[in-house]
Amino acid sequence: MTLRKHAPLQPLDEALEKLLGFASPLQQVEEIDTMHADGRVLAQDVVSELHVPPHDNSAMDGYAVRCADVPHSGVQLPVSQRLAAGVAAKALESGSAARIFTGGVVPPGADAVVMQEECAALSDGAAQDARVQINAVPQAGQHIRRAGEDVTRNQVVLAAGTRLGPAEIGLAASIGLDRLHVLRRPRVALFSTGDELVMPGTVAPRDMRPGAIYNSNRYFLSALLRRLGCEVTDYGIVPDLRDATIEALRSASLAHDAILTSGGVSVGEEDHIKPAVQALGTLDLWQIAIKPGKPFAYGSIGACHFLGLPGNPVSSFVTFLLLVRPFLLRLQGARDVVMRSIAARADFAWPKPDRRREFLRVRRNANGGLDLFANQSSGVLTSAVWADGLLDNPPGCAIAPGDTVRFVAFAELLS
């Protein structure tokens, strides 16, 4: 499709909804070691074949008793068995107690555990005639973790589309799974455009030619892609030539699920990405009503998705978090991809808002409010290092100290 040169800017929420509509999850499934599943997305439900815990067990070190045998404080009982974690329990004899440790199986017949601080051993616990004095009247069920209170047999513990983290991996292991079925990683081709770009290490700072800059985008975009579990092919820097741009896009589209570029998506004479994509395929989204990050583009070349980011580093960084991240997560089959914000207090003034939706770099302070980085220019990458999140400011909304605003933590967006 050909977009009008002066097409209106797309609101972010509308653009994201359209973008996610293009992200059909990859279909290929891999079986991998649970130990190495961090960040992957489940291809099918995980169902437990057992209760967790599998047996009633003690939440405390102490003594398992029958409440009926301890009607008042000071009752003395013989100790009939010793139950460490992993030891099989025999039925508790009436009128006796079982020495039990945290995680030990509660013996049949016992209906409470009295913690050891409320008991007094009257003889060596290992002796045949060991006895204990119970100094507190127990309540039925106290300090007992019931079988299945965490997970029940046949329960779906992790749904398909769940992105696995340490807790999810631990839960899978707790039901005995050493292998998991996940969707394969997206293959992403990455390149930058711009004759002004220089790779660190190729030219010393003192030898940089006038107008040249180091290519920071290539580094942080590669890191962001890998954090999302993508397999990245780095195509380097493509010259500001239309034929070179077309060839790079054509070649990358043949073996990748997506192409990610930075720079060249504006409307200048040296911006070749937009016409190159249109020459090879379609361009479906272009220019979003956000600041920073207006010149974002989405299209396709054959079966390969194309995502074009602005060249300014903060614009590229922010648009990746807001648009590329949820797109790639959905491509992997993840269900939960929408960013979450929380209410926070602004401890600064922002009297001249933009007509676009703004994402200001802010940091939480010791008083529970938000401070603003002084320079909000889209070229100042130090703002993203100093900040610990973004303030999501509606179009045309001035901010006064004490106002309630919406805050999105980088911890939410970079995981």
- Residues 57-145: name the CATH superfamily: Molybdopterin biosynthesis moea protein, domain 3. (2.170.190.11)
pLDDT tens per residue, range 298-356: 999 999 999 999 989 999 999 999 999 999 999 999 999 989 999 999 999 999 999 99
Sign of CA dihedral 345, 348, 352, 358: negative
Domain boundaries, the chain: 12-28+185-331, 29-52+149-183, 57-145, 342-413
3.30.360.10, 2.60.40.3880, 3.30.429.10, 3.40.980.10: CATH of 12-28+185-331: 3.40.980.10
pLDDT at residue 194, rounded to an integer: 76
Q: Name the percent of the chain lying above pLDDT 70.
A: 95
Contacts of 39 by beta carbon, 8 Å cutoff, 6+ apart: 163, 164, 165, 227, 228, 229
Q: Is the pLDDT of residue 180 over 90?
A: yes
Q: How confident is the model at residue 125 (pLDDT cuts 50, 70, 90)?
A: low
Residue range 183-210: mean pLDDT, rounded:
88
Question: Do 251 and 304 meet the contact criterion of CB atoms below 8 Å apart?
Answer: no
**234, two tokens:** 């780095």
H or E segment to which residue 113 belongs: strand 112-115
Instruction: Answer yes or no: CATH 3.90.105.10 is held by domain 29-52+149-183.
Output: yes
In 3D space, the residue among 361, 360, 323, 341 whose CA is nearest the CA of residue 228 turns out to be 323
> In whole angstroms, how far apart are CA 216 and each of 221, 282, 381?
9, 28, 9
Strands 46-47 and 369-372: unpaired
The Cα–Cα gap between 92 and 84 comes to 15
Q: Is the pLDDT of residue 214 over 60?
A: yes
**Cα–Cα distance between 164 and 295 in angstroms, integer?**
32
Give me the chain's average pLDDT, please.
93
Which carries the bigger pLDDT value, residue 199 or residue 160? 160
Alpha-carbon torsion 284, 287, 289, 291, what sign? positive
* pLDDT tens digits, one per residue of 249-305: 999 999 999 999 988 665 544 467 888 999 999 998 888 999 999 889 999 999 999
pLDDT tens, position by position, 39-81: 999 999 999 999 999 999 999 999 999 999 999 999 999 999 9
Q: What does each C-alpha distance from 4 to 174, 236, 283, 286, 355 come to in angstroms?
A: 56, 31, 11, 10, 21
My answer on whether omega of the bond before 292 falls inside 30° of 0, hence cis, is yes
98, 92 contact by CB (below 8 A): yes
| Model confidence at 4: pLDDT above 50 | no
- In sequence order, what are the residues at sequence separation of 6 or more whose Cβ sits closer than 8 angstroms to the Cβ of residue 269? none
- pLDDT score recorded for residue 3: 46
What does the block give as tokens for 336?
């939960």
Which fold, 342-413? Beta-clip (2.40.340)
What per-residue confidence (pLDDT) applies to 300?
96
What is the percent of the chain with per-residue pLDDT over 90, rounded to a whole number? 80
DSSP 250-304: HHHHTT-SEEEEES--SSSTT--HHHHHHHHSEEEEE-BSEES----EEEEETTE
Q: What Rg do the C-alpha atoms of the chain give, in angstroms? A: 30
pTM, 2 dp: 0.86
Which residues, other chains included, contact 331 with Cβ-Cβ below 8 Å and sequence gap of 6+? 23, 24, 25, 26, 186, 257, 258, 305
